[in-house]
Chains A and B, each alone.
Chain A
Amino acid sequence: MECASQTNKKEIKANNYNRNNHQLRIICSADTLRTLILKNSVRVVDVRKREDYLQSHIPTAVSLPLSQVLSKDTPEGIIDILQNLGIPDEMPIVTYDDTFGALAARVAWSFQYVGHINTALLEMTFSQWNNLGLETEKKDNIFPKEKHSLNINHEIHADTSYVTAAKASPSKILVDSRERLNFLTEHIPGAKNIPYTMLGSNGGILRKPKEIRRFIENRGISTDSEIITYCGSVGTLSGLAYYAFKLAGLKNVKLYSKSFREWKSLGKPKEEFKDANYWDLSAE
């Protein structure tokens, strides 16, 4: 269903949003988001491809394809993006995608990293939103520029030297979010595998917190540990894992955003498993 009849028309809105800022936490329900949209007190960020956005999107959403974030992936670059999207410091942000939450997670993490704490992921993908018959529109929303301060949140980020040093500390656990066969093929030595496929549920991008907590505890990982998540290339799958672990109540979680791609390119050690032809089990 569509709220407006205009198609693909650019509309620059006055930024007279309701400054009674709602504090979001990790996941934003569809109900909450709809209320915030009605109250005009949220910035909805669509992380899908630009052409998908132009087809149909959640009302008031702005378009921010992941590629844009990755091409400006420095703290200053992210601040620039926030300012251009008309997002001031305290404004609640809700991100969504159609890639089981992984792209939305990576963007949300970038915002939180540069200090925009009031950011959450929509509990579902755009397809699920659409299938429920919730409101959509086609307008290309653009808002006046705002000022945003830079306040780096070092707590949630790990770089290669941090990961290298962390391996010596038993209370720091490295979690690989890639699928099982990729993990078996090669991974950072000592990493534990929690594939992103374990984290989603049928109706939403993440399972119930108690289930995710149980997966962690089953692996003998203390929920007091520091967890560093990584994946194959740019921190999307591990971005989703970052939020899954936060949702499960873990206090100290970091994203190794440059992930295994950088680790390998630097010639760092890998653990490999070559004693079985597991790839031949695939039916593709």
Chain B
Amino acid sequence: MNRGRDRFIIAALRSERLAIPLGHVSEVMENFRTFPIPRAPVFFPGVINSHGSPTPVLDLASFLYGDPPAPDGTLLILDHRTATLALRIDRVERIISADGPAEDDNTDNGLTDQSVFYNESSIRTLNLELLVEMLEQELSRRPASSTRSGAPA
């Protein structure tokens, strides 16, 4: 399905790149201080004080690939209409206008189900709505008693 030209943030994430719809991102932050979240899964390394709004940080690589959370990086703070959430990525590679997303290829359970074209390569787009739904499902389960972000290293 083609939805016309949209703007995307090309996010570097380990050796991968992901396209994140720019319209869903309200701020990019590089220096941040997190505070632990009680009983949160390990892919939530903490919460930040984003202009007076407590905003949990999701370590995308940890959530998508099971990597250990990284201590630094770049945060993409999502528009509050999408979610109260900041995505930790390695860095912002650039912002592009792209034709797409292109056809569905249904990988990663639909979490990165569509592609945009950048530098003659196809980059998968992160489905933010689905991501938030998956996190909600994950968080609504009673957490196990180990590996919490509140636990000291």
Do A and B interact with each other, yes or no? no
Binding site for A on B (CB under 8 A): none
